[in-house]
A and B are shown apart, each in its own frame.
Chain A
Amino acid sequence: MRTESPDLARNPELQVEALGDRALLLTLGSGIDPGVNDRVHQLAALLGQKRLPGVHDLVPAYATITLHYDPTAWSGKGMPPFEALSREVMRLWKKAGASALPLPRLVEIPVCYGGDFGPDLNDVASLCSRSPEEVIARHAAASYRVYMIGFSPGFAYLGGLDTTIAAPRRSTPRLMVPAGSVGIAGMQTGIYPLATPGGWQIIGQTPKRLFLPSEANPCLLHPGDRLRFVPIDAETFHACALEAP
């Protein structure tokens, strides 16, 4: 399924620069901006489909794509490899014309809020002067955008947090946060894919596994996805955990 989208060619602000001798940095804008991020995922999808020789990783971020490549695949073209590849990227970008953006996937993440699953829910509630129930309702009402994945395997940078439930990081990070923990840090919310140390305020936990290295598709979330949190009770959590992923 495809949807109408802004014309790539009408957005001339693509900058291509070398990021070392084996990567290019493609910049489409700045800051955290849904429009810029749409174009990032659109161009990443286009470049992915083209299967450019020697290009082995395309890493979309908020406003950039980092393209990792093997320079030998672009040598012998009468110019340095980075220039040959940069020109090809620019050519594809200009030619894309009225290319369309595939509809994002919608992923639902069941979350058991509060209690042992979300030990910081009450703190977050008092920090933003609301009841815990209201924090849950507001957290689960929003639709989030997966701007990018980075930091650790399967960790999604989400945008769309209701600013009335934003809360600062814990003053003392926890030495271990269980995998699947859902937290708030400043204006961000996110899910810990792996058990790691962490300083976010933990308001709940999902029984879904976000990262399973042995699977053909190891990550539940992909860059560009849309995401919703669906509140569940402890009983459902344990039932889901048994049949994970």
Chain B
Amino acid sequence: MSLRVASFGLLTTVQDLGRRGFQHLGVGPGGAMDEASHRIANLLLGNPNHAPTLEITLSGPSLYFETESMITLCGADLSPRIADQRMPLWRPVMVAAGSLLSFGRPVQGARCYLGVEGGFQVPRVMGSASTHLSAGFGGFQGRPLKIGDRLETGPCPKVRYPSLRQRFHQGQHLLLGPDWFVPWYQFLEFAQPAMLRFIPGSQWSGLTGPSRQCLLASPFEVAAHSNRMGIRLLGPKLSLEQPQEMVSSGVAMGTLQLPSDGSIILLMADRQTTGGYPRLGEVVSVDLPRAAQLRPGEALRLSQVSVEEAQDLFLSREKRFHDLELVLADQQTL
């Protein structure tokens, strides 16, 4: 199947689970900001976890399907529709050849993932299809999608959901999905204000007492100039007991950095591999999808957990992914 970009949105890029094994060369992993939604978009179609999806940010593009396709939309609700029909999220949907998928008002969240059977076909660079925006490689020609771009999908090993396909072909449908959806709230939540849990890092204890209290008690706001590299938090200015002499050291997705202006930066998918700012801690992996869905102006709070607790949360989420995969494998023969 193939699709063409009819109008471009704010930022639409090809992403997968990111580049592994090149961080020692300064090449960040990149990949989907909201890993959970990306994975579910693939799981629904029987694709491997790392199959490339489109990450659609806030204001979506319009996409013209040249051929009949089975697709999924997971993550933010950006009011997707085909003609006058609303496109449902979190389930497989058949769309007719010649359909134009467009997006409207962002209702909830910031990033929506479009999955297609077989994944989008782009060259792998350093083992990954994710778009490295600052260095201009990977994904679709190393850049966000623009009008006229044409994307092909990879081979699809197995036909899924035969009965859905049959019903689609029997009726004169523009789009057709099943009457079930993935319980996404087991993987991602949109509660307001967002609650992000973090594991304290080396410089947490170096914060002044009032700064530590402020960090845990005050709401923060997502600054407008947040992006795939980092989410900048507006809130009380925090300070360290003593200025720290730091030399650069490796950081992770979720690292909370404190530059000298006293405002926290939460490092995200396109972060640099190393950083020289004091490190207050890391947001836990299971809360990063929520962070990825934060919009400028949205409120959030931070709370402290132990690494033991964070890894328990992580392992139970992976178990839920595994269970979901089994349930879907069952459904896919229907």
Contacts and interface: CB of A to CB of B under 8 A. Distances in A.
B205 interface: no
Interface stretch (A98-106, A113-121, A218-226): A218-226
Contacts of B125: 213-214
Contacts of A154: 25-27
B250 A66 contact: yes
Q: Which of A58, A80, A149, A153 has the most CB of B within 10 A?
A: A153
B85 interface: no
B26 to A, nearest CB: 5
Q: Which of B138, B255, B311, B312 has the most CB of A within 10 A?
A: B311
Interface in B250-282: 250-252, 254-255, 272-274, 279, 281-282
A72 interface: yes
Contacts of A61: 247-250, 274
Interface in B23-50: 23-27, 29
Interface string A35-78: 00000000010000000000011111111111010011001000
B308 interface: yes
Contacts of B138: 213
B272 to A, nearest CB: 6
Interface residues of A, number: 49
A64 B318 CA distance: 29
A223 B27 CA distance: 13
Contacts of B71: none
Interface stretch (A18-26, A122-130, A164-172): A18-26
A219 B247 contact: no
A31 interface: yes
B282 to A, nearest CB: 3
A150 interface: yes
A19 B24 contact: no
Interface string B1-37: 0000000000000000000111111110100000000
A111 interface: no
Contact of B24 (A57, A71, A152, A211): A57
A191 interface: no
A85 B285 CA distance: 18
Interface of B: 20-27, 29, 125-126, 132, 134-135, 137-138, 199, 201-202, 245, 247-252, 254-255, 272-274, 279, 281-285, 307-308, 310-315, 318
Given A22-B285, A32-B247, A153-B132, 6 more contacts: A23-B250, A61-B247, A72-B318, A149-B25, A150-B272, A218-B27
Interface of A: 17-23, 25, 30-32, 44, 56-66, 68, 71-72, 75, 80-82, 148-155, 157, 193-194, 196, 211, 213-214, 218-219, 222-223
13 contacts: A19-B252, A20-B307, A21-B199, A21-B310, A61-B248, A64-B249, A68-B250, A80-B311, A149-B24, A150-B26, A150-B274, A153-B25, A218-B25
The 7 closest A-B pairs by CB, nearest first: A66-B250, A20-B282, A150-B274, A59-B250, A21-B310, A213-B137, A18-B307
